[in-house]
Structure 1
Amino acid sequence: MNLESPTVTVEKSPEAVFNFLSNIKNFKKLMPENISKFEVLSDDTFLFALKGMPEIVLKKKELIAPNKIVLGAAGGKIDFSLTGLITELGEEKSDVQLLFHGEFNAMMAMMIKGPISKFIETLASNIPGSI
């Protein structure tokens, strides 16, 4: 299953956006209002939970400055990744888009497609006001 957030424009350089997203503590600022738990486990790993959903642990998997950050599931039963793509529009302007990729059976995909789409849309829409 592949999902894409809307592209958001940020009045910051790609380097500033990359540095912000590279610091996993900053993901707390991007989380939706219905977050019930957020915990930094290490420099590259954090755990979060939304109300009514299981806890999810994300770990930095790949960093390509200043254009790409890949977070992946750290353990758990589900394997997926969340990729942030940063495109330079000018010296102090960037586009950011989040991509979700996961391998799920058809039933699971049907159940989680809506909530995950809304989740990555919220993360992306919170980026411009958080940096």
Structure 2
Amino acid sequence: MNLESPKISVKKSPEDVFNFLSEIKNFESLMPENISKFEVLSEDTFLFALKGMPEIILKKKESLPPNKIVLGAAGGKIDFSLIGNITKKEDNSSDVQLEFTGDFNPMMAMMIKGPISKFIETLVTSIPKAI
């Protein structure tokens, strides 16, 4: 399953956006209002939970400054990735898009598609306000 957030513009350089997303603790400021738990486990791993959902642990898996950062599931039964793609528009302006990829059975994919789409849209639209 592949889902993409809307592409948003940020009045920051790709380096600034990349540096912000590279700091795991900054993800707390991007989370939706229905977050029930957020905990930094290490410099590249954090745990979060949304009300009514199981806890999810994300770990920074790959980074290609200043254009791409990849977070992936750390443990658990489900393997997925959250990819931040950052492209330069002008000197102090970037486009950011989040991409969610995971291998799910058709039933699971149908159940989580809506909530995951809304979640990544919330994350990406929070970036301009948080930086």
Q: TM-score, normalised by structure 1?
A: 1.00
Q: Does 1:34 align with 2:34?
A: yes
Provide the rounded CA distance (Å) in 1 between the counterparts of 2:17 and 2:128: 9
Aligned to 1:104: 104
CA RMSD of aligned residues (A): 0.3
Cα offset for 1:81? 0.1
Indicate the residue corresponding to 2:124 in structure 1.
124
d(CA) in 2 for partners of 1:23 and 1:8?
20
Question: Where has structure 1 moved over 6 Å in runs of 4 or more?
Answer: none
Map of 1:71 onto structure 2: 71
Task: Show structure 1 runs of 5+ residues with no match.
Answer: none
The secondary structure found in structure 2 opposite 1:77 is coil
TM-superposed deviation, 1:46: 0.1
Structure 2: which amino acid aligns with 1:87?
A: T
Mark the runs of 5 or more structure 2 residues left unpaired by the alignment.
none
Q: TM-score, normalised by structure 2?
A: 1.00
Identity %: 77
In structure 1, the residue matched to 2:57 is: 57
Q: What's the counterpart of residue 83 of structure 1?
A: 83
Report SS of the residue matched to 2:115. Answer: helix
1:26 Cα deviation from its structure 2 partner? 0.2
**How much does 1:83 deviate?**
0.1
Q: Distance in 2 between matches of 1:28 and 1:130?
A: 10
SS of residue paired to 1:76: coil
1:15 and 1:106 map into 2 onto residues whose CA distance is 38
Task: Give the distance between the partners of 2:124 and 2:5, measured in 1 at CA.
Answer: 7
Q: How far 1:70 sits from its partner (Å)? A: 0.1
Matched residues, number: 131
1:23-67 CA-to-partner distances (Å, cap 9, x unmatched) read 000000000000000000000000000000000000000000000
